């Protein structure tokens, strides 16, 4: 058996996982806080590096969160309306860039299935003779309540081999969606792909009244360029950091803050950080029902 399989390094010292196990068994741990303190002690002793410590804490943190803490709210979900033409579906798919979509029937609450974008590719081939039937391509939707714990959702994703779940409210309507990436990000941190480096990925959508949804990780200089604002980036690199400082705490979804005549509504957040902000610029119309 080689060193890797035996859990040891090439120098003969136990691997970090084995040493962590030894550290945990040497301590009488009575609660979760005790586990965290032991993990941090292991980090100080060099058994865990900073990334491993962060992931271990993330695993414990996931058990404290519910789906409502991380879900993408209904207003920001890219859903497709049922259609008998593949060409009617393509504009929304191309614009959003997502790979999976809830498909709705007569209303936005009537989710009839999940479409994986790549399943449409054969129908874009002129030589493909099969008649397009959307229902044949739809995967069954996984419906979950807002109160479901994230650790239970992760296990459900693994067992059902789904990557997306439709979150329903107490009345059975669609409250939003949650993806396996949303859960994993609580453990390993923000996951960016090759599309997450340009302005189009930071500035997600703009309403006719001027309100705009942006990622909390949007660089302040890019935010200023887009909105013509003059926020300082001396202390903070991202607009989320600036807004969190203005709140004085990690805000929850639904809270709002005014900074230099800009209104920031928290659209998506968990107990550790914000993810999405709804920005209302000074010259934007204030929608009815929203406080000025």
pLDDT bucket at 271, cuts 50 / 70 / 90: low
State whether 33 and 113 are in the same domain. no
Structure tokens at 11: 């120098």
Question: Total domain count for the chain?
Answer: 3
Q: Is residue 285 part of a domain?
A: no
State whether 215 and 151 are in the same domain. no
Q: Is residue 9 part of a domain?
A: no
The CATH number of the domain holding residue 275 is: 3.30.465.10
State whether 152 and 234 are in the same domain. no
The candidate with the shortest Cα–Cα distance to 76, out of 265, 286, 288, 271, is: 265
State whether 123 and 21 are in the same domain. no
State whether 183 and 205 are in the same domain. no
State whether 260 and 208 are in the same domain. yes
State whether 72 and 51 are in the same domain. no
Q: Is residue 184 part of a domain?
A: yes
Domain boundary among 156, 188, 220: 188
Model confidence pTM above 0.85: no
Residue 5 pLDDT exceeds 50 = no
State whether 207 and 272 are in the same domain. yes
112 touches 105 (CB < 8 A): yes
> So what's the pLDDT on residue 28?
54
State whether 38 and 112 are in the same domain. no
Percent of the chain with pLDDT over 90: 24
Structural domain for 248, as ranges: 199-280
Q: Is residue 209 part of a domain?
A: yes
State whether 89 and 164 are in the same domain. yes
pLDDT per residue as tens digits for the range 56-101: 777 777 777 888 888 888 888 889 999 888 888 888 888 777 889 9
User: Where is pLDDT greater, at 7 or 250?
Assistant: 250
Number of helices and strands in the chain (H, E):
11, 12
Query: Which residues lie below 8 Å from residue 211, measured CB to CB, with a gap of 6+?
Result: 278, 279, 280, 284, 287
28 SS3 class: coil
Residues facing residue 115 across a β-bridge:
101
User: Where is pLDDT greater, at 292 or 154?
Assistant: 154
Burial of 78 (0-12, 13-18, 19+ CB in 10 A): middle
pLDDT per residue as tens digits for the range 33-64: 777 777 788 778 787 777 777 777 777 777 77
């Amino acid at each position: 058996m080689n060193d890797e399989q035996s859990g040891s390094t090439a120098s003969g010292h136990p691997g970090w996982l084995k040493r962590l196990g030894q550290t945990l068994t040497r301590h009488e741990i009575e609660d979760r806080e005790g586990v965290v303190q032991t993990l941090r002690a292991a980090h100080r002793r060099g058994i865990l590096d900073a990334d491993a410590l962060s992931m271990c804490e993330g695993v414990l943190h996931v058990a404290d969160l519910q789906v409502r803490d991380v879900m993408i709210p209904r207003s920001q979900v890219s859903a497709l309306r049922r259609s008998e033409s593949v060409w009617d579906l393509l504009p929304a798919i191309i614009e959003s860039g997502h790979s999976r979509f809830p498909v709705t029937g007569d209303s936005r609450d009537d989710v009839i299935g999940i479409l994986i974008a790549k399943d449409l590719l054969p129908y874009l081939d002129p030589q493909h003779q099969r008649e397009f039937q959307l229902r044949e391509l739809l995967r069954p939707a996984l419906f979950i309540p807002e109160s479901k714990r994230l650790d239970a959702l992760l296990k459900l994703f693994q067992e059902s081999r789904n990557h997306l779940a439709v979150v329903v409210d107490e009345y059975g309507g669609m409250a939003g969606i949650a993806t396996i990436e949303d859960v994993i990000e609580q453990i390993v941190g923000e996951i960016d792909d090759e599309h997450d480096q340009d302005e189009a990925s930071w500035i997600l959508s703009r309403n006719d009244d001027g309100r705009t949804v942006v990622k909390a990780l949007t660089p302040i200089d890019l935010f200023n360029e887009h909105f013509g604002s003059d926020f300082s980036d001396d202390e903070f690199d991202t607009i989320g950091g600036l807004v969190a400082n203005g709140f004085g705490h990690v805000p929850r979804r639904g809270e709002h803050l005014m900074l230099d005549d800009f209104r920031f509504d928290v659209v998506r957040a968990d107990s550790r950080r914000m993810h999405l902000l709804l920005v209302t610029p000074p010259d934007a119309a204030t929608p009815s029902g929203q406080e000025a």
